[in-house]
Amino acid sequence: MPLTAPRPLLMDCDTGIDDAVALLYLCQTPGVDLCAVTTVAGNTSAERAARNTLQVLEAAGRTRIPVAAGAGATLRGDVHPEAGFVHGDGGLGGVELPEPAAAPDPRHAADLIIDTARRAPGGLDILATAPLTNLALALRKEPRLPEMIGRVTVMGGAVHHPGNISPVAEANIGHDPEAAALVLAADWDLTLVPLDVTMRENLTEEHRLRLLDNGSPVSRLAGEILDFYFTFHEETALPFRGSACHDPLAAGIAVGEVTPTLAPRLHVTVDTADGAARGALVADTRGIHRGYPEQPGANAAVVLETDGTFPALLVERLCETRK
């Protein structure tokens, strides 16, 4: 069920295709107060991600949401190549959108995170669908940040599922393991949404055609940008034309429209060594055969199963008319 009252939500992203669909979903979901968006280098540059975000928000009729660009490199200074082969030139599947009327917020993303949290102490939720550099920088600058945050939902990692940038590492965790380690060690209410569930909630060509046929600006944009994403998935990851619901599923969990069917609280760390396992999410799942009893030191709810119905809900939301 959607939230019964608006709750401030900040999204930290690297706006490629699935981030954009998640943004559109949030704009279309009743009871969600998307109050700010911050961007980081990942699928594309932090600056291009901010521009993409402004364009997507404008298509959704949400032009007053502040959008700030942040880190262009990892905590240790690495700059990863952009994922044009996944998200197309510019990050939105090669779809050309009008220049946004709004300009990016001049603050660094970490500062916007801190400022937004201070205005809503204890009431701000964070949804992170990108490398966690901005959140780590905000934690370094304001160590009391966890006291100001309600919930943090991170799309990232792989527990039993293979990684997508290495045999064990998922992109959002693996592209800045040091930042991920800081975020996982912070004392806040943390939920991880790994590849284990996002790869099982799939959009299909039938869904995409419905989005295009509906014809609203929101649904049409989603259908158009998903075309490139579907081709990538069909060629590399799925045995059919479609895509995983990485960031949109995390958004659905963050705002309470998706209730995980299995999300044990586990002790989770990240491998930060320079070896074959760098960037791997290390989750203690040794309680798997005993129903995952509560662990000492558990620091995150890790979503391992959902019911598979989210893609239909996502398409329904994107096709709805909003005033």
- Residues serving a catalytic function are 246
CB 168 within 8 A of CB 120: no
- Radius of gyration, CA atoms only, the chain: 18
Q: Which residues share a beta bridge with 301? A: 191, 265
> By three-state DSSP, how is residue 228 classified?
helix
Burial degree of 257 (CB within 10 A; 0-12, 13-18, 19+)? buried
Burial degree of 248 (CB within 10 A; 0-12, 13-18, 19+)? buried
Q: What is the DSSP string of 238-274?
A: -SSSEEE-HHHHHHHHHTTS---SB--EE-EEE--SS
Distance of CA 33 to the CA centre of its chain: 16
Neighbouring C-alpha atoms within 13 Å toward the C-beta of 314: 31
Quick one: how many helices (H) and strands (E) in the chain?
13, 12
Residue closest to 136 by CA, chosen among 127, 125, 145, 123: 145
Burial degree of 76 (CB within 10 A; 0-12, 13-18, 19+)? exposed
Burial degree of 186 (CB within 10 A; 0-12, 13-18, 19+)? middle
CB 31 within 8 A of CB 1: no
Burial degree of 278 (CB within 10 A; 0-12, 13-18, 19+)? middle
Spatial distance between the Cα atoms of 74 and 42, rounded to a whole number of angstroms: 10
